């Protein structure tokens, strides 16, 4: 099963020592992130090169994933020659997650199922999810206990806390240009970038 709940007990999970060790590992790897996501305007989009920079992927990957329906731009799709795709914040978050899953050896087929599952989640829900994988299957965890259970049971080889990816993408986009989805409208006013930068500073000092 590509995406399943992280619930369940494996043999030996009642061992307090193993559980403490699993909790420590989860903390060290940043898998227990708990934070409140920042709501960004739904009509703000980012062009392909900007999305690539924020997600850490190549334009070739971006184009291929859009053409095959893996991750498509939700703010504005390309229509005809010369039109520009606009990717939303959530799109870029998913692009970055896909890149990390690929880098750890998860198959594209499994990633497609995981992406489909994430699309059904609300924006606020995404920030509270940690994806765990043993390199074959992807498990969705929505609580620290589920993460620890997987680590303790030996199922979770690596994990991705989406709340932390959220912060990384937000920080990257604070330095990059965005624009409104309306046709013919140019880049966003400077105050939008300034607002993202202000929120980033507030996180650091708050």
Q: Where are the domains of the chain?
A: 42-181
Query: How many Å apart are CA 105 and CA 127, to the nearest integer?
Result: 23
- Rounded to 10 degrees, the C-alpha dihedral 199/41/59/135 comes to 70
Total-model pTM:
0.73
Query: How many Å apart are CA 87 and CA 93, to the nearest integer?
Result: 10
pLDDT value of residue 10: 43
Tens digits of pLDDT across the chain (206 residues): 344 544 444 444 456 666 666 566 655 555 565 555 555 666 789 999 999 999 999 999 999 999 999 999 999 887 665 568 899 999 999 999 999 999 988 898 889 988 988 888 877 678 888 888 877 788 888 888 888 787 777 655 688 888 889 889 988 998 888 887 764 444 443 434 444 555 555 555 55
pLDDT value of residue 191: 38
Query: How many Å apart are CA 115 and CA 100, to the nearest integer?
Result: 13
Q: Find all residues with CB under 8 Å of 134, minimum gap 6, and list them.
A: 155, 156, 157
Residue 134 near residue 159, CB atoms below 8 Å: no
CATH 3.90.1150.10 is the classification of domain 42-181: no
Distances from the Cα of 158 to the Cα of 17, 39, 173, angstroms: 20, 28, 26
What is the number of other CB atoms lying within 10 angstroms of the CB of residue 67?
10
Minimal CA–CA distance to 71: which of 13, 130, 115? 115
Q: Which helix (H) or strand (E) covers residue 114, if one does?
A: helix 108-119
Is the backbone of residue 189 left (phi > 0), alpha (psi -120 to 50) or beta? beta
């Amino acid at each position: 099963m590509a995406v399943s709940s992280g619930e369940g007990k494996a043999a030996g999970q009642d061992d307090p020592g193993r559980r403490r060790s699993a909790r420590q590992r989860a903390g060290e790897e940043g898998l227990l992130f708990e934070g409140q996501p920042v709501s960004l305007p739904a009509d703000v989009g980012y062009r392909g090169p900007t999305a690539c920079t924020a997600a850490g992927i190549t334009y070739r990957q971006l184009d291929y994933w859009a053409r095959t329906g893996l991750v498509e731009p939700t703010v504005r799709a390309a229509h005809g020659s010369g039109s520009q795709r606009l990717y939303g914040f959530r799109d870029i978050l998913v692009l970055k997650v896909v890149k990390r899953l690929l880098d750890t050896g998860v198959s594209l087929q499994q990633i497609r199922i995981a992406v489909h599952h994430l699309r059904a989640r609300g924006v606020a829900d995404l920030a509270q999810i940690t994806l765990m994988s043993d390199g074959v299957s992807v498990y969705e965890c929505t609580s620290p206990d589920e993460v620890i259970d997987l680590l303790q049971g030996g199922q979770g080889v690596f994990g991705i806390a989406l709340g932390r990816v959220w912060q990384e993408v937000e920080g990257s986009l604070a330095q990059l240009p965005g624009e409104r989805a309306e046709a013919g409208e140019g880049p966003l006013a400077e105050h939008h970038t300034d607002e993202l930068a202000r929120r980033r500073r507030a996180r650091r000092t708050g």
